[in-house]
A and B are shown apart, each in its own frame.
Chain A
Amino acid sequence: MRTATNVISLRGATKQFGGLVAVDNMDFDVTEHEVKGLIGPNGSGKSTTLNLISGALTPSDGEIVLRGTPITGLPAKDIARLGVSRTFQLVRLLPSMTVLENVMAGAVFGHRRRWGRAAEQHAMAILEKVGMARQARAHFSQLTYIDTKRVELARALAGEPEVLLLDEWLAGLNPTELQAGIELIHALRDEGRTIILVEHVMDAIRSLCDSCVVMSSGKKIAEGTPEEVLSDPDVVRAYLGDEDA
């Protein structure tokens, strides 16, 4: 793992909103084929960190590098083309387009661009992978919740990104769906994709992540394998509060 190349590196990445420091001096690396968990209590800055990487927000300070190319402060469209794609915390599908068109959006404009038949075939292949091929012509309103999440994931995958950002992709699923969801991401992991996921579901973190970064109040308080960080007293304190620790 030491010798693997870094796909994404954050150095001192910081985001301030007025007086509030939402992300404070974040440093971490994500290597090729690694699944990195970003965990921490609510409001600790996980999603903001993801937003800094995807270009939804501009860092106030620090540097973010994608395979040796600095992407700090680039607009989201450029970062997407360079190979970062994401899902959103609240699912965002294109409501009046079909499932296939939603996925084609990723295939046509993403990191590896395709057009016409090639884009359509590629999008179908991805839909097959996430188990949605049969509903390719369906519309957003006809889908169950987990299926909308599958479609959004397929859209993110369709551009063949260097790194995939999942913002609480498993949140809001019922127990059966959750199992299916974890299996799906496991399959992506087995394909060797590089993934950063923000997640609250501990089971998912344990079974999916190679390593985790724990955040609290915008700062990184621990980093290591899920077992290591979840037994770290600082992490326990951050989750449960000082009095209870």
Chain B
Amino acid sequence: MDIIITGLFLGGTYALIAMGLNLQYGVARIMNLANGEMLVVGAFTAFALYSGAAVSPFLTIFIVAPVAYLLNWLIYRIMLRPLVTRAKSRGMLEQDAILTTFGLSFVMVGLMIWVFGGDYFSYSYLARPVVLFGDNYGLNRLSAFIGAVILCTALYIWLNHSRAGMAIRAVAVSPKSARLVGIDVPKLSARAFALGGAVTAVGGAVISTFLTLDASTGVLFTMKALIIVIMGGVGDVRGTIVAALVLGVGETLVASLIDPGLTLATAYALFILILLFRPQGLFGRKSA
């Protein structure tokens, strides 16, 4: 029971990170392999502000979000948009985007190692136990989960009920038709990319309250987020959340029952199962 709850807590935060990636891939059609580094940047900021000025990570979010938004918007406009324009086919764009975002991810890791050093870092925030159903849990894990739930819900409502959210979903379904009904696709793609980056960075700030990270852990989160997005289905918010929870619980189960060193192997095992049996995602409709 306590394993399941710990897993759900972890999965909640994963959901937030994967939502960010899903916005970027589903709407802007860029497979952003530097996504995990954006998470680490968010985490580093929370760490620096907390240990330097005792600012609560949950306040840091309000700084991280706009900064990450702007940063990602610039990345899209300056680096990725030209690739979209020059690409002759979807495959070429995919290849270029993968190489570029990989390059970007290495550059970010390199810069962070330069600035912060390569050490693990962590801080203790709300590291008090709370009792739920007779078991002890870290208050930081609980608060991170609640934070993630609030953000996911807000994002879900915004996507489904606001005008801008509707436009974003339209682009996700079909950029061609979206253009026909008067949506400025390039502008919206840039915004969705920026928003996705901001969501991921916020996820990083939240996750830093209970996980120990170093400058090069980003790629692990990128992989997990990618696996979640594919499991849940590209552009599917509900699927993303379920897949994130499944992954969180699965990882925690394996980590506590078999070996903590096997978390990525677990993620991959789930990934293989999905690829073999439901390549269209958990809730995806079977298409031709």
A and B touch in their complex, CB below 8 angstroms: yes
B288 and A57 form a contact (CB under 8 A) = yes
- Identify which of residues 269-288 in chain B touch chain A, using a CB-to-CB cut-off of 8 Å: 285, 287-288
- Identify which of residues 11-26 in chain A touch chain B, using a CB-to-CB cut-off of 8 Å: 17-18
Q: How far is the CA of A148 from the CA of B287 in the complex (A)?
A: 31
Q: Say which size band chain A's interface belongs to.
A: under 10
Q: Say which size band chain B's interface belongs to.
A: under 10
Whose C-beta in chain B lies nearest to the C-beta of A15? Answer: B288
Q: How far is the CA of A40 from the CA of B62 in the complex (A)?
A: 57
User: Within the complex, which residue of A18, A58, A95 is in contact with B288, where a contact is CB–CB below 8 Å?
Assistant: A58
What 0/1 pattern do residues 251 to 282 of B give for CB contact below 8 A with A?
00000000000000000000000000000000
B88 and A95 form a contact (CB under 8 A) = yes
Main secondary structure of the interface of A (DSSP, over half): loop
Q: How far is the CA of A57 from the CA of B288 in the complex (A)?
A: 5
Chain B residues with CB below 8 A from A57, complex form: 288
- Identify which of residues 187-204 in chain B touch chain A, using a CB-to-CB cut-off of 8 Å: none
B88 and A18 form a contact (CB under 8 A) = no
Q: How far is the CA of A17 from the CA of B173 in the complex (A)?
A: 14
Chain A nearest CB, measured from B175 CB (Å): 16
Chain A residues with CB below 8 A from B288, complex form: 56-58
Chain A nearest CB, measured from B74 CB (Å): 32
Chain B nearest CB, measured from A59 CB (Å): 9
Q: How far is the CA of A56 from the CA of B287 in the complex (A)?
A: 11
Chain A nearest CB, measured from B283 CB (Å): 13
What 0/1 pattern do residues 47 to 58 of A give for CB contact below 8 A with B?
000000000111
Chain A residues with CB below 8 A from B287, complex form: 17
User: Within the complex, which residue of A18, A56, A58, A95 is in contact with B285, where a contact is CB–CB below 8 Å?
Assistant: A18
Chain B residues with CB below 8 A from A58, complex form: 288
Chain B nearest CB, measured from A233 CB (Å): 33
Whose C-beta in chain B lies nearest to the C-beta of A52? Answer: B288
In the complex, 6 of the A-B residue pairs with CB atoms within 8 angstroms, ordered by the A residue number, are A17-B287, A18-B285, A56-B288, A57-B288, A58-B288, A95-B88
Chain A residues with CB below 8 A from B285, complex form: 18
Chain A residues with CB below 8 A from B88, complex form: 95
What 0/1 pattern do residues 179 to 206 of A give for CB contact below 8 A with B?
0000000000000000000000000000
The 6 A-B pairs at the shortest CB distance, nearest first, are namely: A57-B288, A58-B288, A95-B88, A18-B285, A56-B288, A17-B287
Q: How far is the CA of A57 from the CA of B285 in the complex (A)?
A: 15
Q: How far is the CA of A57 from the CA of B286 in the complex (A)?
A: 12
Q: How far is the CA of A95 from the CA of B92 in the complex (A)?
A: 12
Whose C-beta in chain A lies nearest to the C-beta of B89? Answer: A95
What 0/1 pattern do residues 214 to 228 of B give for CB contact below 8 A with A?
000000000000000
Q: How far is the CA of A95 from the CA of B288 in the complex (A)?
A: 26
Chain B residues with CB below 8 A from A95, complex form: 88
Chain A nearest CB, measured from B287 CB (Å): 8
Whose C-beta in chain A lies nearest to the C-beta of B287? Answer: A17
Chain B nearest CB, measured from A71 CB (Å): 15
Chain A nearest CB, measured from B93 CB (Å): 14
Q: How far is the CA of A58 from the CA of B288 in the complex (A)?
A: 6
Chain A nearest CB, measured from B180 CB (Å): 14
Q: How far is the CA of A18 from the CA of B288 in the complex (A)?
A: 12
Q: How far is the CA of A236 from the CA of B287 in the complex (A)?
A: 34
Q: How far is the CA of A57 from the CA of B258 in the complex (A)?
A: 44
By CB atoms of chain A within 10 A, which of B88, B285, B287, B288 has the most? B288
- Identify which of residues 35-73 in chain A touch chain B, using a CB-to-CB cut-off of 8 Å: 56-58
Chain A nearest CB, measured from B95 CB (Å): 14
Q: How far is the CA of A13 from the CA of B43 in the complex (A)?
A: 55
Q: How far is the CA of A57 from the CA of B287 in the complex (A)?
A: 9
Chain B nearest CB, measured from A45 CB (Å): 15
Chain B nearest CB, measured from A137 CB (Å): 21
Chain A nearest CB, measured from B122 CB (Å): 48
Chain A nearest CB, measured from B112 CB (Å): 39
Whose C-beta in chain A lies nearest to the C-beta of B88? Answer: A95
Q: How far is the CA of A143 from the CA of B285 in the complex (A)?
A: 40
Q: How far is the CA of A18 from the CA of B285 in the complex (A)?
A: 8
Chain B nearest CB, measured from A213 CB (Å): 22
Whose C-beta in chain A lies nearest to the C-beta of B285? Answer: A18
Chain B nearest CB, measured from A191 CB (Å): 33
Chain B residues with CB below 8 A from A56, complex form: 288
Q: How far is the CA of A209 from the CA of B22 in the complex (A)?
A: 49
What 0/1 pattern do residues 86 to 118 of B give for CB contact below 8 A with A?
001000000000000000000000000000000
Whose C-beta in chain B lies nearest to the C-beta of A60? Answer: B288
Chain B nearest CB, measured from A106 CB (Å): 20
Q: How far is the CA of A37 from the CA of B63 in the complex (A)?
A: 63
Chain A nearest CB, measured from B90 CB (Å): 13
Whose C-beta in chain A lies nearest to the C-beta of B92? Answer: A95
- Identify which of residues 89-109 in chain A touch chain B, using a CB-to-CB cut-off of 8 Å: 95
Q: How far is the CA of A172 from the CA of B88 in the complex (A)?
A: 21
Q: How far is the CA of A57 from the CA of B88 in the complex (A)?
A: 24
